Amino acid sequence: MAKVAIMGYGTVGSGVYEIIKDNACRVAENAGEMMETKYILDIRDFDDHPEKHLFTKDVNDIINDDEVSVVAEVMGGLHPAYEFTKSLLLAGKSVVTSNKELVATYGTELLAIAEEKNVNYLFEASVGGGIPVIRPLSRCLAANNITRIAGILNGTTNYILYQMFTNNKSFETALSDAQAKGYAERNPAADIEGHDACRKIAILSSLASGVEVDCEKIATEGIVDITLDDVKCAEAAGGVIKLIGYAEFEDGKVYSHVAPMFIKNENMLSGINDVYNGILITGDAVGDVMFYGAGAGKLPTASAVVADMVDSVIHASRRKIIGWKKPEGDVFADAAAKKFRYLMRCELNSTITEPLTMAECDAMKEKLNAKSAIRVLD
């Protein structure tokens, strides 16, 4: 019997608890033994919960319990998730997480501790919710040099843009709907300003390159400036606008940004709608591979968390090697030299430019007196 703990009983944490209980036989078949939740850590009281005896407010109950081998950290946020995770790994417990902010910010250090302690630090749920993408990128595509990743990595913003495109809904109404459905982060600024997608592309880029790609250095724009005029202009130009986490890899360097991009209707990513995520990965041997599915929500995200718990039970004595190291020197390519085509919206019409650097784009925008300029995903 594997005894496990869940830290955080919010949307994802309650989903993890339910899957472990409701799919107990399936989980046991895969893990090779039954899995039982011994603790749930949360600062709130859950006096009406049928298993209220499982709840604790003291992380030391978990850290000091030798019976607990695997812990799911689904609290979100940096602190105290970082301190708790570090203590648990140092205590020789495997930790799995959906916390992209923590993985993108402290992942390098936590992965090194996990390696030193011969335990697992797994984070499949941190990118793409329920979509398997971390393992496929690390393992199934291991024979490739990854050349490009372009992903719709945030369900909330995809939902908002989809509502703006299909139902002419205002940004605010669509955001409230997404929050009510439990898609949005606690602070929706992380979604709409692009920070959540930035953390996710940083994680994917670090995995693809094998070295840490610092999320703080990725140029990040959200969707707050996208208007219904931009929506109409994109439709007229034969495409849609999606918030894209973008990375290109060449000669050991990474170019990366998060920004709304114009996507022609022929591109596979244009059909990723609602709260769904889609991640298009290009490898030099495999070509294009697309990952698609529910990128947010209680059970889809919990599905990936529990799968990592199962893997941690299976790999209790021989850890799974998924991660990256600290880079030697700067990994970022010169962003000022990078060129994209742009969809420029002028007063009465729009145009798609030749490939331009950012400075050339600014000059062209001024010359055309354009209201907006959105990079094209070619």
Place of tokens 């950290």: 73
Token digits of residue 207? 């995995």
Q: Which residues bind ligand HSE (CB under 6 A)?
A: 129, 154-156, 183-185, 191, 196, 295-296
At 265 the three-state DSSP class reads: coil
Token digits of residue 123? 């984070």
Rounded least distance, CB 284 to ligand HSE, Å: 29
Residue number with CB closer to ligand HSE (158 or 372): 158
Overall residue count recorded for the chain in this entry: 378
Nearest partner of 4 among 84, 79, 96, 119, judged by Cα: 96
Q: Are 333 and 307 in contact (CB under 8 A)?
A: no
Q: How far is it, in rounded angstroms, from Cα 291 to Cα 281?
A: 8
Q: How far is it, in rounded angstroms, from Cα 196 to Cα 342?
A: 24
Token digits of residue 21? 């209980």
Rounded least distance, CB 100 to ligand HSE, Å: 6
Residue number with CB closer to ligand HSE (9 or 159): 159
Q: How many CA atoms lie within 13 A of 320 on its CB side?
A: 22
Rounded least distance, CB 283 to ligand HSE, Å: 24
Token digits of residue 259? 């920004």
DSSP secondary structure string for all residues of 331-376: -B--GGG--B-EEEE-SS-EEEPSPB-HHHHHHHHHHHT-SEEEEE
The residue annotated as part of the active site, out of 38, 93, 100, 200, is: 200
Q: Are 156 and 275 in contact (CB under 8 A)?
A: yes
Is 38 catalytic? The answer is no
Chain centroid offset of residue 98 CA:
8
DSSP secondary structure string for all residues of 275-302: TEEEEEEEETTTEEEEEEEE-SSHHHHH
Residue number with CB closer to ligand HSE (294 or 309): 294
Rounded least distance, CB 158 to ligand HSE, Å: 8
Rounded least distance, CB 210 to ligand HSE, Å: 24
Q: Are 242 and 261 in contact (CB under 8 A)?
A: yes
Rounded least distance, CB 204 to ligand HSE, Å: 13
Residues recognised as catalytic:
200
